[in-house]
């Protein structure tokens, strides 16, 4: 297999280029899969460690997103994630990869320093050097996604979080073998999304006749097809006096689908309320209205649907990819 270099983080990445649309498709060992149009103009070494960590983590959080100049600009302006959030992100990731209590975490964390040096200096082994490359690739495939999800900036930060915080201070992990401790599992329990067993999905949208029809014919069927029960509270247009019925429905939902077409204040309010409750929100907007979507939400990976069929397919894929 031939690896190119990821333009975001410098890690080895498979690349497929489509000249017709001036777009590259990457599958990076650190960032995962993403679509990268030439127009972004980003090249390796253009980004600071904070920018790399934020953009790489954002790509991992979304399913094969398309990187645009707007997204890069918005993410670039965000500060680094707080240390305790990184701790939780790393621990949660490990609990997903090693879901059985007592199973050893077979990641070679001793190699992290060497791995990050090789990537920084672009000195990772070539494919021809089979043995060295296999060793590198095995470690990279396990460790790099973890660094991406945890928004890790440097090897010192990673070593600090792993050894000083997770192992020594909090005792969420223990060594020999490296496992998640009972204290660690108890903490992971507090990080779970709200309502993990609910089938209910609250749909926040503009109550205009055309949109209601699109909702009935495409949004609801996509949610049902994914195995959930959609709920919409009609004719409850509001700006900020979110009512008890809406609050109760959102509170008990597994996730929220928020369509920003029409740019209604109520949709922002409902999406923000769900976010505050740690309930996942899937953002959508008709493509030709995307420009009017507010700054705070437009760095999220919005489904910018062109047609009703496009909406149906992408919403269904997004639910399958991100709601677990």
Determine, following the binding rule CB under 5 A, whether residue 72 of this chain makes contact with Zn ion.
no
- Residues in a beta bridge with 83: none
- Candidates 2-10, 70-78, 230-238, 281-289; binding stretch for Zn ion (CB under 5 A): 2-10
CA distances from 316 to 32, 217, 218, 309, 320 (A): 21, 13, 10, 11, 6
Distance CA 194, CA 209 (A): 32
Please identify, using beta-carbon distances, which residue of 122 and 164 lies nearer to Zn ion: 122
Q: Residue 96 CB, nearest distance to Zn ion (Å)? A: 20
CA dihedral for 45, 47, 53, 55, sign (positive or negative): negative
Determine, following the binding rule CB under 5 A, whether residue 147 of this chain makes contact with Zn ion.
no
Q: Residue 45 CB, nearest distance to Zn ion (Å)? A: 13
Please identify, using beta-carbon distances, which residue of 60 and 299 lies nearer to Zn ion: 60
Distance CA 284, CA 311 (A): 8
Please identify, using beta-carbon distances, which residue of 34 and 206 lies nearer to Zn ion: 34
Please identify, using beta-carbon distances, which residue of 53 and 281 lies nearer to Zn ion: 53
Please identify, using beta-carbon distances, which residue of 60 and 232 lies nearer to Zn ion: 60
**Cβ atoms < 10 Å from Cβ of 226:** 16
Determine, following the binding rule CB under 5 A, whether residue 115 of this chain makes contact with Zn ion.
no
Please list every residue from 167 through 206 that binds Zn ion, using CB under 5 A: none
> Which residues touch 164 (CB under 8 Å, ≥6 apart)?
none
Please list every residue from 6 through 65 that binds Zn ion, using CB under 5 A: 6, 8-9, 11, 28, 30-31
Helix, strand, coil: what percent of the chain each, to 5? 50, 15, 35
Determine, following the binding rule CB under 5 A, whether residue 112 of this chain makes contact with Zn ion.
no
Q: Residue 119 CB, nearest distance to Zn ion (Å)? A: 9
Q: Residue 47 CB, nearest distance to Zn ion (Å)? A: 10
> Which residues touch 200 (CB under 8 Å, ≥6 apart)?
228, 229, 231, 249, 252, 253, 254
Please give the size of the binding site for Zn ion, defined by CB under 5 A.
7
The DSSP output letter for 193 is P
Please list every residue from 270 through 289 that binds Zn ion, using CB under 5 A: none
Please identify, using beta-carbon distances, which residue of 30 and 318 lies nearer to Zn ion: 30
Tokens of 279: 């309930």
> Which residues touch 159 (CB under 8 Å, ≥6 apart)?
112, 113
Q: Residue 55 CB, nearest distance to Zn ion (Å)? A: 8
Determine, following the binding rule CB under 5 A, whether residue 119 of this chain makes contact with Zn ion.
no
Determine, following the binding rule CB under 5 A, whether residue 149 of this chain makes contact with Zn ion.
no
The site for Zn ion (CB under 5 A) is made up of: 6, 8-9, 11, 28, 30-31
């Amino acid at each position: 297999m031939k690896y190119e270099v990821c333009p975001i983080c410098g890690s080895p990445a498979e690349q497929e280029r489509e000249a017709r649309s001036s777009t590259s498709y990457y599958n990076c060992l650190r960032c995962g899969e993403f679509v990268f149009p030439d127009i972004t103009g980003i090249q390796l070494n253009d980004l600071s460690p904070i920018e790399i960590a934020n953009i790489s983590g954002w790509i991992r959080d979304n399913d094969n997103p398309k990187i645009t100049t707007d997204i890069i600009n918005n993410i670039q302006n965000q500060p680094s994630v707080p240390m305790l959030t990184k701790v939780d992100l790393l621990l949660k990731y490990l609990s997903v990869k090693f879901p059985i209590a007592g199973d050893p975490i077979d990641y070679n964390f001793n190699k992290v320093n060497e791995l990050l040096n090789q990537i920084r200096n672009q000195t990772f082994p070539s494919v021809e050097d089979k043995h060295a490359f296999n060793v590198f690739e095995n470690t990279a495939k396990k460790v790099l996604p973890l660094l991406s999800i945890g928004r890790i900036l440097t090897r010192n930060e990673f070593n600090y979080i792993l050894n000083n915080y997770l192992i020594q201070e909090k005792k969420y992990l223990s060594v020999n073998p490296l496992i998640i401790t009972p204290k660690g599992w108890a903490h992971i329990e507090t990080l779970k999304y709200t309502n993990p067993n609910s089938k209910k999905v609250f749909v926040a949208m503009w109550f205009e006749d055309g949109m209601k029809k699109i909702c009935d014919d495409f949004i609801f069927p996509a949610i049902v097809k994914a195995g959930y029960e959609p709920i919409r509270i009609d004719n409850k247009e509001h700006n900020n006096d979110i009512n008890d019925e809406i609050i109760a429905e959102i509170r008990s939902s597994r996730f929220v689908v928020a369509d920003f077409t029409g740019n209604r204040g109520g949709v922002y309010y409902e999406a923000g309320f769900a976010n505050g409750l740690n309930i996942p929100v899937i953002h959508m907007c008709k493509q030709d209205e995307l420009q009017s979507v507010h700054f705070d939400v437009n760095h999220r990976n919005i489904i910018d649907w062109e047609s009703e069929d496009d909406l149906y397919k992408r919403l269904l894929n997004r639910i399958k990819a991100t709601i677990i």
